[in-house]
Structure 1
Amino acid sequence: MSHITLVRHGQANSTARDEAGYDQLSPLGRQQSAWLGGHLDAHRQLHTRLYTGTLRRHVETADAMATDLDPVRDSRLNELEYFTLARAMQDEHGLAIPSDREGFVTHLPQVFAAWHENRIAAAPETFAAFETRIRDVLDDIAAGDGPALVVTSGGLIAFAMRQILRLDIPATAAMALAIFNTSLHRLFPIGGTLAPVLFNAIPHLEPPDRHHAQTHL
């Protein structure tokens, strides 16, 4: 097995309230991604393979990182459609969509719980299908040769950690809310399975003049 470094995409369009509107990097998101690529190069953190989802924000993040690796685009690395789930929750259960980050702290676990319990009829994919594609794509990447860099989304990263650490829904939601844009998360093979050895690292955003770029949305 090979180790995998998961990267959450750079800051997207945080003012959007639908999937299409969200799916593009902000100017800060492009800068975060460029700083990450520069950090990996400067510290000689070698990766021989690059994977991304097929979403625009994944592609733009990988391009701005400028790794010189040829990316493999895999839709199994795409994010869950949170805005679609949220609209369905509002329509079916009367749960209002928040207008600020603090509102999502209570909103997100409620949506995840309803999705997990198959109580969202209009969900674009089932909870089980989402978990299965995460497991399958990570198994396939881990089976390849050489360290892999994987650009994806925060929800997928949180659910990958849920599977490995056997987290419940509230803990998974809390983890998803904590993940920084362009953060690093490493899964290392130990005893024939992947184990987390790094979570939510942002060394490229630690200098004082970059603290403003430590974003979640």
Structure 2
Amino acid sequence: MAVVYLIRHAQASFGASDYDKLSPQGEQQAARLGEALAARGVRPDLVVSGSMRRHAQTASLAGFTAEVDKGFDEFDHDELIVTHKPAYRVRAVLLADMARKGNPRHAFQEMFTAATQRWIDGGDGYTESFHTFCERSDAAVRRTAERLGKGETALVYTSGGPISVVVSRLLSGGDGLWAKLNPVTINTAITKVVSGRSGLTMVSYNEHGHLDGSDLLSYR
């Protein structure tokens, strides 16, 4: 069988003006990931990533250069927020609203959950629908697996959204688990999918032993 390791990017710069770059903690996570992959003896035949900078940085700091497949890109979280509440197009308005709630991180998560649910429910105003996002994420992992020969291995550096699509579909045959899986995907966690005669099978999800016992674990 062939193996596809789906790896969530390291911590990005949440709350900064440019989210799409690794934080100092994220850089440490990516380096730790590289050490863990080396310790496992992982020698990939193929390394792929989405087109986000955080994907490429995670791959690079883990010791790999990845070719780009935009099918592994994350959904546009900024568009989800602005479509949910157009006033949040002005960043200062968003930050002020969150601050007024007393716990900005908790307030943001509540708002983002509502914004995401509107997208899942098929609301209008999005460049990419939830269904389209799920279809292209699923297609990306399948075409990656199809490139592998028997016994070969691929590393895929991507985001929590596409990984959650793949896991939801392999576990349930649909996208109904996505909203529960996506928020709990850990930075640099590894999900293992094997490809054989019966198709794709998930054998482990969100494995993050390389972060255990440290203060590096993060979800956002």
Report the TM-score when normalising by structure 2: 0.83
Give the superposition deviation at 1:126: 1.5
**Cross-structure match for 1:177:** 183
Q: Tell me the equivalent position of 1:115.
A: 119
3-state SS of the aligned residue for 2:192?
strand
Q: Using the TM superposition, give the Cα deviation of residue 202 of structure 1 relative to its aligned residue in structure 2, in angstroms.
A: 1.0
2:194 and 2:202 in contact (8 A); partners too:
yes
Aligned AA (1:112): T
- Structure 1 residue 101: Cα displacement: 4.1
Specify the SS of the correspondent of 1:148: strand
Rate the CA distance shift 1:24–1:128 in 2: closer, same or farther, 3 A: same
Deviations 1:106-162 (A, max 9, x none): 4444333321332131x1212222112112111110111221000000111112212
Tell me the distance in 2 between the aligned counterparts of 1:131 and 1:142: 17
2:13 paired with 1:9: no
Query: Match for 1:59: what amino acid?
Result: A
Q: Corresponding residue for 1:77?
A: 72
Structure 1 unaligned segments of length 5 or more: list them.
none
Which secondary structure state, in structure 1, belongs to the residue aligned with residue 118 of structure 2? helix
SS of residue in 2 equivalent to 1:118: coil
Q: Which amino acid aligns with 1:4?
A: V
Aligned mates of 1:198, 1:36 — CA distance in 2? 16
**What's 2:137 paired with?**
134
Q: CA contact under 8 A between 1:89 and 1:120: conserved in structure 2?
A: no
2:2 match: secondary structure: coil
Q: Is 2:213 aligned against 1:216?
A: no
- Given that residues 138 and 165 in structure 2 are in contact (C-alpha distance below 8 angstroms), is that contact kept between their aligned partners in structure 1? no
Q: Which residue of 2 aligns with 1:199?
A: 205
2:47 alignment partner AA: L
TM-score (ref. length: structure 1): 0.84
Contact 1:85/1:120 (8 A) holds in 2: no
Ranges in structure 2 where 5+ consecutive residues have no aligned partner:
88-92, 99-103
The yes-or-no answer on 1:89 pairing with 2:65 is no
Q: Give the distance between the partners of 1:106 and 1:168, measured in 2 at CA.
A: 21
Q: Please give the root-mean-square deviation of Cα atoms over the aligned residues, in Å.
A: 2.2
Q: Secondary structure at the match of 1:22?
A: coil
CA distance in 2, matches of 1:22, 1:175: 21
> Are 1:179 and 1:216, in contact at CA under 8 Å, matched by a contact in 2?
yes
Residues 190-214 of structure 1: CA deviation (Å, up to 9, x unaligned) = 55221211111112111x3x2x100
- Select the residue among 159, 162, 175 that pairs with 2:165: 159
Distance in structure 2 (CA, Å) of the matches to 1:151 and 1:106: 27
- What SS does the corresponding residue of 1:40 show, helix, strand or coil? helix
